[in-house]
Chains A and B, each alone.
Chain A
Amino acid sequence: MAKQNKFTVSHAPFWHDGSSIKCMNINIMIAALPAALFGVMQFGMPALGVLCLAVSSAMAWEALFNLISRRPVAINNYNAAVIGMMVGMMMPATIPWWVLITGTFIAVVVGQQIFGGIGANPFNPAVIGISILMVSWGGHFDFDAVLVNYDFTFTALTPLAALDHQGVAAVNLFSYSDLIMGKQMGAIGSVFGAGLILGGIYLILRGFIRWEIAVSYIAGIVVTAALFNISNPDQYAGAMFHLFTGYTLLGAFFLATESSSSPVNLIPMFIYGAIGGIMTILIRNIGAYPDGTLFAILLINLINPLIDNIRPKALGRGVNNA
C-alpha cells in the first residue's frame, strides 16, 4: 500500500457562506465611520483622542480579562473594538480620560466578559457602560456644560436638554436640516443624523443588522412622539425633533440591534424595536432624563429573552396527521 496523504476529515457541511464575526464587526465600524469622522471634524482633535482611547482601552480590557480568566485572547474578532467605538461615540469630546477608561471597563468587563464573553451578554455592553457613567458622573454628560468652551456657528445648546429645560419653545431654536446635518451639540458620534442613517442603511443592506429592529424602533419613536405632539403641541415636541436628537439614531441602528441582546424571530423583533421606541419617548416626555434612549434599550434587552419565545412552531410540532 503506497504512502497515503492525510486528508481533512470533518462533519458536513463542507461549505460555508464566508461570513464571520470579524467581518461583521469590521463592517459595523465602517458603518459608524461617517458619524464618527463628522464628530472629529466638529469637535476637533479631542474627539479623535476620545475615540482612539475608547477603542484601544476596550480591547486592552478584553485582552486583560481573557488573560486573567485563562481564556484564549479573542480581541482579533474586533468585538471589543466595536464596544469601545460605541462607548467613544456616546461620549462628549471633553470627557476626562479616567471616566473614559472606566466606561470601557464597565462596558467590556462588567457588561460582557463576566457573563461569558461574546454572545453571552444580556445587555448591550456599550449601553451598560455609558448608563452607569451617566448615573455615576452625570456632570460629564451635561453636554451644555462640558462643551462650553467650543465656539459653534449654530445654536450652542443640546437639543434634548433645551427641550427639557425650556419646554417646547426650544424646538424653534433648531432647524431640522441643521439637526440632520449634525449642527447640534451632543456626543461625538450621535450628532450627525445623516451619517448614522447612511451607516444604518449600509448595515441593513449588507445584512449585518436586522432591519426589523431598526425600523420598528424608529416607528415606535415617530408614532409615540407624534401622538404626544398631537395630544398637546404646547408641551411635547414633534416626532422629527425626537428622531434627530440625542442618541435616537445611534440607538436605532447601532445599539438596539446588537446581536446577543436582541431577538431573532420576526414578531419579537418588531415588538422589541417598537417598545424601545415607545419607552424612549416616554422617558423623554414624562421621565426625568432628557434622553431616554439608553434606558429604553436596557429595558428592551431585559425583556428580549421573554418576547423571543414567541416563535413559529417547528416542523411537525402540534400536527396530527399520522
Chain B
Amino acid sequence: MIKRSFIGLTEPKLMCDLIESGPKEPETIPIPPRMILLLNESLDSTRESLVKKGDMVRKGDKLHLYKESSEYVTSPVSGKITTITPVVGHTGLPVVSISLETAPGQGANTQFAEFAEPPDIESAARFLMGIPGNPPLQRLADPGCRVKKIVVSAVDQDMMSTTRQYVMTRSRDSLGQGVDLLKRLTGINDIVIALPESMASLAAFGPMTLLKISQDYTDALPEMIMQKHLGITPLPGRTCEDMGVCFISAEAVFALVDAYAGKEPVFEKIIGITDKNGRLTRVKATIGTPIHRIFTQLGIAADEKDRIIIGGPLRGTSAYTLYHPVQPDMDNIIVQAAADIPPISTDPCINCGNCVRICPAKVPVNLLVRYLEANLYQEAADSFDLFSCIECGLCSFVCRANIPIFQYIRLGKNELMKVEQETETEAENG
C-alpha cells in the first residue's frame, strides 16, 4: 500500500503500474466442473423463466430469463443448469447467479456464424455481449447513440492493473485489424488509441492516432483523458458516451477480432492476480470460472477477514465469496491481508482540506461530505457539485478523518438516480 510520504507538503503522486519487460505467458486455468454465470436482471417469480434448473445448455447458448429481456449471458461451456439464485450485486443491484455443471461433448451453438459476415453492430450486440473486455456493444447498437469517437484504451482502469497493457503488447499486430473491424461494425471512423507513454514506442501503430497517457493515476481516468487529450470537458452527470466518446478496452477489441475470425464468441479472459505479498501472476481463465479455482491452482491463500479486491485498490469492488466468477471486465484480483486493511472511522470531517487539494474534478469535497452525511443529496448535487465527481476515490484515500467519502458520494448519486427513475416511472404511468 502506498503511504503518505514523511514530507507531506506535496500531495501524493499515485502512479499506475506499468507492464514488466518480457511478460511471461499467462497460466491457463482449465475449465472447472462447476461454472457460475451472473446475469444483471432481477428474478420475477410471477413470470415463467426461460431458463430452468436441470436444463441442458450448449456452449454459445444465450441465456435470458424472460422473452423480453435485453440482458443475456452466453454460456461459455456446455452443461446442465444446477441452480438459479438471486444475489445482490454491487450497489445493491439485482443479479441472478446461474450455476452450471459442465458436461463436455454437447456440441456448440453456431448461430453467430451466420451473422459474422458482414459484421454489423446489431448482431454483435445480440451475440457478443460479455466477451472479454466487456465492449459496450448494446450502447453502440442503440439507434439513439451519440458516439462520434471511439477510444481504444490500453490504459488500465486502476493502479495495480496491467492486463490491458499486457493484451496490447501481446496482440498489437492485430490492432489494425481490430480498428478496421470497429469501423465496419460501428461506422465510426474516428478511432484513436490511448496507451501509456512508455508503450508508444512499440512501433506497431502505423498511422493510428495515439493518445500518450502519463503514468499519473488521475490522468488515466477516462474523463481526464477526454478533457486533457480530446479537449472535451465532461459535464456533470453525463457519461463519456453522452459526450460522444466511447472507451473500449484493448482486450475487447482483440476479443472482437478473435470472435469474428473464429465465427464464435470467445470466453478466455486475461486476469492479473496479486497475492498478499504483492506478487503478480497473470492467468487465462474462462469467464464463469469461480475465483477459488484460480487461487487453488496458484496456491494463493485467502484467509478469514482478508479482502478480495476485484479491479483495483482505488476504484474496485470487494467480493464476499470465492465463488464469485470471472467476469468479462475483471482485469485484476488482489488479495489484501486483514492486517493491511485501513480503518474507517465515524469521525466527522475536520476540514483539513486534503480532499479538496487532491480532487481532479475540483469538487468542494469538504462541504459535499457534510451534506451527504446528513442525507441532503439534492442540496449536495445542486450546490456542491456531487455529479462533477468522476469517482477516482482519491478523497477517501487521503482523508485524515478516515471518512468513507467515496462511498457517501456513490450512495448520494444512487439515491438521486433512484428518485429520478421513480419520478419518470410515475410520469409514464400517468
Contact = CB atoms under 8 A, between A and B. Distances in A.
Interface of A: 1, 4-21, 24, 72, 74, 77, 116-120, 204-208, 210-211, 259-262, 264-265, 311-317, 319, 321-322
Nearest to B404: A11
A118 B350 contact: yes
15 contacts: A12-B316, A12-B393, A12-B406, A14-B313, A16-B342, A120-B348, A206-B7, A210-B353, A264-B356, A265-B353, A311-B362, A315-B233, A315-B361, A316-B234, A317-B236
Contacts of A319: 233, 235
Interface in B373-430: 385, 388, 390, 393-394, 396-402, 404, 406-407, 410
Contacts of A208: 8
B189 interface: no
Contact of B8 (A4, A8, A207): A207
B235 A8 contact: no
Given A208-B8, A317-B236, A18 B3 contact: yes
A interface majority secondary structure: loop
Contacts of A11: 318, 404, 406-407, 410
Contacts of A321: 232-233
Nearest to A79: B350
A260 B404 CA distance: 19
Contacts of B227: 315
Given A21-B347, A314-B385, A205 B7 contact: yes
Given A207-B9, A321-B233, A12 B317 contact: yes
Nearest to B305: A8
A265 B357 CA distance: 8
Contact of B341 (A4, A8, A118, A261): A8
A265 B322 CA distance: 44
Contacts of B6: 206
A119 to B, nearest CB: 4
**Most A Cβ at <10 Å: residue of B307, B349, B362:** B362
Given A13-B315, A20-B402, A208-B8, A5 B303 contact: yes
A281 to B, nearest CB: 27
B32 interface: no
B348 A116 contact: yes
Contact of A17 (B2, B315, B360): B2
B362 A315 contact: yes
Interface string B66-87: 0000000000000000000000
Nearest to A260: B351
**Most B Cβ at <10 Å: residue of A14, A77, A117:** A14
A117 B348 contact: yes
Nearest to B236: A316
A313 B362 contact: yes
Contacts of A5: 302-306, 322
Given A4-B321, A7-B318, A118-B348, A14 B309 contact: yes
| Across the A-B interface, the 3 shortest Cβ-Cβ residue pairs | A207-B8, A264-B353, A16-B342
Interface in B242-269: 242-244
**Most B Cβ at <10 Å: residue of A13, A20, A21, A77:** A13
Contacts of B306: 5, 7-8
B2 A314 contact: no
A275 B302 CA distance: 56
Given A6-B305, A15-B2, A16-B397, A119 B364 contact: no
Given A18-B3, A206-B8, 9 more contacts: A4-B322, A11-B404, A11-B406, A12-B314, A17-B3, A18-B342, A264-B353, A317-B388, A319-B233
B318 A8 contact: yes
B119 interface: no
A7 B9 contact: no
A316 B3 contact: no
Nearest to B398: A17
A284 to B, nearest CB: 29
A74 B348 CA distance: 12
A110 B393 CA distance: 36
B4 interface: yes
Given A15-B342, A117-B348, A314 B236 contact: yes
B278 to A, nearest CB: 12
A321 B236 CA distance: 12
